[in-house]
């Protein structure tokens, strides 16, 4: 475990194979299907559709489900998985809160997600969160795995001023000149395996050029000693997952 934490500090990410058992993966997949197909109540405002897909709740139309742990106890249970928290504890220390989570659906034909750093979107300081990205399907280069630039978490947060058109909305991305693409590496995973990446690590995911889906559940963790730096009245109530809360912190 100490070696994993050292590797994480050095490269900004690690991979832990087969961390989540097949039953838990199957259960999460089924839950994702039920939310996606509209069989379970879930706020429509938190669903994102693939550009060009019909805005109709159906597994193959969805690009993202935002914040499932806030609305569905199964995802909060997953965020509390002891084997995951044991890895997170090595990275963040023993007081751990859940920042948020997202399911990246990447259906066949699903588009890329361009280079970014998660902390450019999070209103949390220090910018030192960790994401556990669980493969719900086998993840390959062809179906749109994550790509990362090792060590880039030590370069600070880059300019994200470039507008990136995601069909019906505009996202942001890092300009090409700030990227050393020759250093990028793919993270391929079997279902049930996880990567853990630092919130300042530059990463992207490719398009899905296959005929099968590539779902990933990203759970973002932070130290309970972190600070919220957004508008004070908008601070969410972040669940404590392990250890103790800190006065005056998130
Ligand atoms: O899974 C993807 O397609 C993108 C994931 C990502 O950007 C993240 O986990 O921060």
* Residue 220 resides in a domain: yes
* Residue 30 resides in a domain: yes
Closest alpha carbon to 47 in 33, 63, 60, 69? 63
89 lines ligand 1 (CB under 6 A): no
* Residue 125 resides in a domain: yes
113 lines ligand 1 (CB under 6 A): yes
* Residue 73 resides in a domain: yes
Alpha helices in 141-243 (DSSP H): none
101 lines ligand 1 (CB under 6 A): no
- What is the crossing angle of helices 82-92 and 2-11, to 10°? 60
Range of the domain at 15: 2-237
* Residue 250 resides in a domain: no
Ligand 1 centre to CA of 229 (Å) is 23
The two tokens of residue 188 are 């391929």
Number of domains in the chain: 1
Burial (CB count within 10 angstroms: exposed 0-12, middle 13-18, buried 19+), residue 169:
exposed
Instruction: Answer yes or no: is pLDDT of 243 > 80.
Output: yes
pLDDT tens digits for 154-181?
999 998 877 778 777 788 788 889 899 9
What DSSP element (H or E) covers 63? strand 62-66
| Confidence (pLDDT) at 224 | 98
pLDDT tens digits for 117-135?
999 999 999 999 999 999 9
pLDDT band at residue 226 under the 50/70/90 scheme: very high
Q: Which atom of ligand 1 is nearest to the CA of 110?
A: 3
Taking the C-alpha atoms of residue 231 and residue 9, their distance in angstroms, rounded to an integer, is 30
Query: Which of 62, 146, 220 for mutating ligand 1's site (highest number of atoms within 8 Å of CB)?
Result: 146
DSSP lists the bridge partners of residue 65 as 47, 103
* Residue 243 resides in a domain: no
Taking the C-alpha atoms of residue 60 and residue 168, their distance in angstroms, rounded to an integer, is 17
Ligand 1 centre to CA of 126 (Å) is 21
| Confidence (pLDDT) at 55 | 87
11 lines ligand 1 (CB under 6 A): no
pTM of the model: 0.96
Are 5 and 91 in contact by the 8 Å Cβ rule? The answer is yes
Q: What is the CATH number for 65?
A: 2.60.120.620
* Residue 149 resides in a domain: yes
* Residue 244 resides in a domain: no
Rounded to a whole number of angstroms, the CA Rg of the chain reads: 17
């Amino acid at each position: 475990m100490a070696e994993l934490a050292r590797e994480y500090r050095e490269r900004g990410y690690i991979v832990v194979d087969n961390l989540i058992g097949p039953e838990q993966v199957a259960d999460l997949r089924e839950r994702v299907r039920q939310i996606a197909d509209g069989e379970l109540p879930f706020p429509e405002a938190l669903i994102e559709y693939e550009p060009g897909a019909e805005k109709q709740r159906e597994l193959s139309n969805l690009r993202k489900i935002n914040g499932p742990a806030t609305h569905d106890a199964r995802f909060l249970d997953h965020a509390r998985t002891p084997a995951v928290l044991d890895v997170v504890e090595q990275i963040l220390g023993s007081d751990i809160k859940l920042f948020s989570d997202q399911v990246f659906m990447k259906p066949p034909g699903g588009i890329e997600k361009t280079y970014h750093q998660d902390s450019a979107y999070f209103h949390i300081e220090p910018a030192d969160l960790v994401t556990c990205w669980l493969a719900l399907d086998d993840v390959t280069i062809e179906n749109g795995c994550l790509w990362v630039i090792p060590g880039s978490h030590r370069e600070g947060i880059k300019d994200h001023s470039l507008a990136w058109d995601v069909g019906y909305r505009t996202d942001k991305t890092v300009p090409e000149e700030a990227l050393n693409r020759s250093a990028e590496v793919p993270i391929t995973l079997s279902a049930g395996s996880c990567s853990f990446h630092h919130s300042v690590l530059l990463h992207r995911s490719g398009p899905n050029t296959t005929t099968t889906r590539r779902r990933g559940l990203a759970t973002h963790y932070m130290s309970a000693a972190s600070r919220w730096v957004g508008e004070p009245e908008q601070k969410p109530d972040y669940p404590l997952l392990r250890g103790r809360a800190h006065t005056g912190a998130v």
